[in-house]
């Protein structure tokens, strides 16, 4: 299952996307995040009827990741803007289960 955490508002789209089929519940992304945006949680898997362990956004940051994630994304929509930098949470994910939409 693909989970799109985050939001779209008047100023843009800010989604952190997790592919639960690839996620192994290791929590490396949580550790890698300097801002405390992520934490591990459980999500019901209707196939196994068990819970799977996956990351989600903390309540504190869920509705403002545009701002919370900004320190890891220097140079975006700024005058001398270069390509997007890959944030540490995405880099830390070995199974490549996580991407950012911005």
Partner 1 sequence: MAEEKKEFWRWPEYRRTVPGKDWKGAQVITAGVDVGSVSSKTAIMVDGELYAYAIMRTGSSSAGSAEKVTNWALEGTGLTIKDIHYTVGTGYGRVNVPFAQRAITEIACHARGANFIWGPTVRTVLDMGGQDCKAIQCDSKGKVTNFLMNDKCAAGTGRGMEVFADLLNVPIEEVGPRSFEIDEEPEPVSSTCVVFAKTEAVGLLRAGWPTEKVLAAYTAAMAERVVDLLNRVGVEKDFVITGGISKNIGVVRRLEKRLGFQALPMKPEFDPMIAGSIGAALFAKALYEKGQ
Partner 2 sequence: MAVAGIDVGAKYAKAVILKDGQPEILSKGIAPCGFDLKEAVEAAFQQALSEAKLSRDEIKYVVATGASLEAVPFANDSVSMQGADARGAHFLFPSVRTVIDIGAEMGRAARCDATGKMVDFVINERCAAGAGAFLEAMARALEVKLEEMGPLSLEADKSPPMNAQCTIFAESEVVTLIHEGESKKNIIRALHDAIAERNISMVRRLGIEKDVALVGGLAKNAGFVDAMKRGLEMDILVPEEPLFVGALGAALIAAEKSAG
Q: By CB under 8 A, what part of segment 55-94 binds partner 1?
A: 62-64
Contact status, residue 38 vs residue 57, Cβ threshold 8 Å:
yes
77 interacts with partner 2 by CB under 8 A: yes
* C-beta closer to partner 2: residue 20 or 58: 58
67's tokens? 């701002």
Minimum CB distance to partner 2 smaller for 74 or for 95: 74
Torsion from C-alpha of 18, 21, 27, 30, nearest 10 degrees: 0
Among 26, 27, 30, 73, contact with partner 2 (rule: CB under 8 A): 73
What CA–CA distance (Å, rounded) separates 26 from 47?
21
State the binding partner of 79 from partner 1, partner 2, none, CB within 5 to 8 A by kind. Answer: partner 2
């Amino acid at each position: 299952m693909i989970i799109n955490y985050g939001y779209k508002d008047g100023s843009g789209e800010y989604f952190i996307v997790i592919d639960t089929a690839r996620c192994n519940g290791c929590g490396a992304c949580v550790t890698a995040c300097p801002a405390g945006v992520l934490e591990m949680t459980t999500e019901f898997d209707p196939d196994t009827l068990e819970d799977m362990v996956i990351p989600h956004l903390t309540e504190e940051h869920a509705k403002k990741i545009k701002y919370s994630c900004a320190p890891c994304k220097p140079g975006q929509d700024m005058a001398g803007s270069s390509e997007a930098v890959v944030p540490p949470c995405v880099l830390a994910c070995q199974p490549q289960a996580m991407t950012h939409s911005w």
